[in-house]
A = this chain, B = another copy of it.
């Protein structure tokens, strides 16, 4: 059991990890990437105090160097669910699970827009992890919204076990080989159904399916953590970065604007300190 689990490797997650290391806590750090892709994309950053005129690439390198100098390790895993399991939290990542007393969400802002009604079908046909939930759809019909080449092995896995797999690739240069997979070059916009998911809708049509897998690096916070309070799609936090769920904290872009490196780094620092304070009170 870890003291803290950090999810996400943007500036907020990096700052939280550095602080937990300094504070001597036993933590696990999970993210879909070693360092958030978005950090490296900024052309020129002028307002990160202490590092004038750095490119995003340089800042990413500098952060990575800082983490490595402290011997902090990140595990490249996509967390697909966080569950309150009585005085602790269980995090699902593929077929693995991890337990922690507190969680710091540094999941950034989704770059993949959620589908209409997506969240209301989570657990009733919508899933974010093929290896976790694929077995539920043996010999059934599924659709997969695949946002990145690196998830293609999950698509193949689903194509193997399902009766039929429709694939919506959201990127260029896809290579999906299974004869059981049918590529659909449309943008899904909505899901619908009754007690269970029945249809995936796109402009000009729809498909009847038993399940929809949405494979993306960042899952919307309220889909990731059941009951998490959000405001306008961002996690609602107090000044100490606690959320409405005791023991869960959030930092960085996922808590709202301004979407800035310094703001995220500051919040990672505060969230780490708040988690440590929470641990000292809730032994």
> B265 and A49: CB pair below 8 A?
yes
Q: What per-residue 1/0 map shows which CB atoms of A249-279 lie under 8 Å from chain B?
A: 0000000111010111111111001000000
Q: A270: which B residues are within 8 A, CB to CB? A: 258, 260, 263, 266
Q: A266: which B residues are within 8 A, CB to CB? A: 262-267, 269-270
- Please report the C-alpha to C-alpha distance between residue A50 and residue B268 in the assembled complex, in whole angstroms: 14
We find that the number of chain A residues with CB closer than 8 angstroms to chain B is 37
A46 partner, pick from B48, B70, B258, beta carbons under 8 A: B70
A280 within 8 A of B: no
Which of chain B's residues has its CB closest to A58's CB? Answer: B50
Copies per complex? 2
> A260 and B273: CB pair below 8 A?
yes
Taking A14-B49, A22-B46, A260-B273 as given, write out 16 further A-B residue pairs in contact, using a Cβ cutoff of 8 Å, ordered by the A residue number: A11-B49, A18-B46, A22-B47, A48-B50, A49-B66, A49-B265, A50-B59, A50-B63, A50-B66, A51-B51, A53-B69, A262-B266, A262-B268, A263-B269, A263-B270, A264-B266
Which of chain B's residues has its CB closest to A68's CB? Answer: B52
Which one of A66, A70, A266 has the highest number of Cβ atoms from chain B below 10 Å of its Cβ? A266
CB distance from A54 to the nearest CB of B (A): 8
CB distance from A17 to the nearest CB of B (A): 9
Which of chain B's residues has its CB closest to A11's CB? Answer: B49
Q: A203: which B residues are within 8 A, CB to CB? A: none
- Please report the C-alpha to C-alpha distance between residue A267 and residue B258 in the assembled complex, in whole angstroms: 11
| Chain A contacts to B: CB under 8 angstroms | 11, 14-15, 18-19, 22, 46-53, 59, 62-63, 65-66, 69-70, 237, 239, 256-258, 260, 262-270, 273
CB distance from A178 to the nearest CB of B (A): 43
- Please report the C-alpha to C-alpha distance between residue A70 and residue B237 in the assembled complex, in whole angstroms: 34
Which of chain B's residues has its CB closest to A260's CB? Answer: B269
A52 partner, pick from B49, B51, B70, B258, beta carbons under 8 A: B70
> B47 and A62: CB pair below 8 A?
no
Which of chain B's residues has its CB closest to A274's CB? Answer: B258
17 contacts between A and B (CB under 8 A): A11-B49, A14-B49, A15-B49, A18-B47, A46-B70, A49-B268, A50-B50, A51-B51, A51-B66, A52-B66, A52-B69, A237-B239, A258-B269, A258-B273, A262-B269, A263-B266, A266-B266
Q: A269: which B residues are within 8 A, CB to CB? A: 47, 258, 260, 262-263, 266
> B52 and A50: CB pair below 8 A?
no
CB distance from A263 to the nearest CB of B (A): 5
Report, nearest first, the 7 A-B pairs whose CB atoms are least far apart.
A266-B266, A262-B269, A258-B273, A52-B66, A50-B62, A263-B266, A52-B69
